[in-house]
Amino acid sequence: MGRQKPGKPRRPRVPRQYTLRELNPPGSAYEEWFQVQPGMDVDKINDTNLSADAIDLMRRVATLGPLYKNAMPRAAITLDWLIDTGELPVMGPAGTGTMIPIGEMAERWRGASHEDVRESIHRLHAVGALLIEDNDEYDVSFIRMVAKRPAAPGETWHFDGGEDVVVAQTCVPAGMWEDIPADVAGTVIFMRSRRSQLQTPDPDEYGKHDGVNGPDHARELFAAAEASGYVDYKGCDVCPTGHLCTREDQ
């Protein structure tokens, strides 16, 4: 028998890298997202009709947007405020907390500036190496370090200390953000999340979320979300029942 010619080597398959948004981090800090317009000029955000707090928020969104590929959670704003305090509240195993001074982090990073540390922390957040958790009872937020993030939407988040959080099977249709307004897309996520837990989306609950002006506004957003078709969108046959598909080859 003659020798067979070696076949053409296969190109190794690179696993898809899901965005933080697609991996649907747990907690209320990830229920609202900002869709950032690329190329926003921070220096031109100075509308005299806006309050100082509104201008501050817009400037933070414009500055941080590129670090999050122009789709950032409310958690990113909370993280930025925490960085401004000069100390980061990090929650450890068994509920133990530690305050980490930003100055010490800068020293450990060979003289990095405060802004260098800020950018590095946000980049870690953007890839899911750490998450923000709100404690609504005490009106505080803290950082939780992620031991292992999910490889795909619907899988488990693993945190330092051994505590796991299983996120409901609710991911995001790939084209939704280009088809409908950001506030309607955020409402789709909320409604899908509640339905996946066999709960009825409550306009009174959603009306209290940032960017939603009460139950009547929530009902209007619910109606727009339903009309978009994305609330019940299943994507493809391989998706579990009630699972919003993120496959690019739908």
Q: What span, in angstroms and rounded, lies between the C-alpha atoms of 203 and 187?
A: 10
**Mean local confidence (pLDDT), 66-94:** 88
Question: What is the reported pLDDT for 94?
Answer: 61
Question: What is the reported pLDDT for 103?
Answer: 81
Question: What is the reported pLDDT for 24?
Answer: 86
Question: What is the reported pLDDT for 44?
Answer: 63
Lowest-pLDDT choice from 8-12, 42-46, 75-79, 110-114: 8-12
pLDDT in tens, 8-43: 555 555 556 788 888 889 888 998 888 887 776 666
Q: Rounded to two decimals, what is the model's pTM?
A: 0.61
Write down the residue that tokens 């209290």 correspond to.
208
Burial class (CB in 10 A: 0-12, 13-18, 19+), 53: exposed
**Mean local confidence (pLDDT), 110-114:** 75
Q: What span, in angstroms and rounded, lies between the C-alpha atoms of 31 and 46?
A: 28
Confidence of residue 241 (pLDDT cuts 50, 70, 90): very low
Confidence of residue 247 (pLDDT cuts 50, 70, 90): very low
Closest CA to 222 of 167, 249, 183, 196: 183
pLDDT in tens, 135-191: 776 678 899 888 888 887 777 888 876 666 655 444 556 567 667 887 887 788 778
**Mean local confidence (pLDDT), 69-97:** 86
Question: What is the reported pLDDT for 167?
Answer: 54
| Cβ 72 vs Cβ 64: under 8 Å | yes
What size, in residues, is the chain? Answer: 250
Name which residue leads in pLDDT, 232 or 115: 115
pLDDT in tens, 211-239: 788 899 999 999 999 998 888 776 554 44
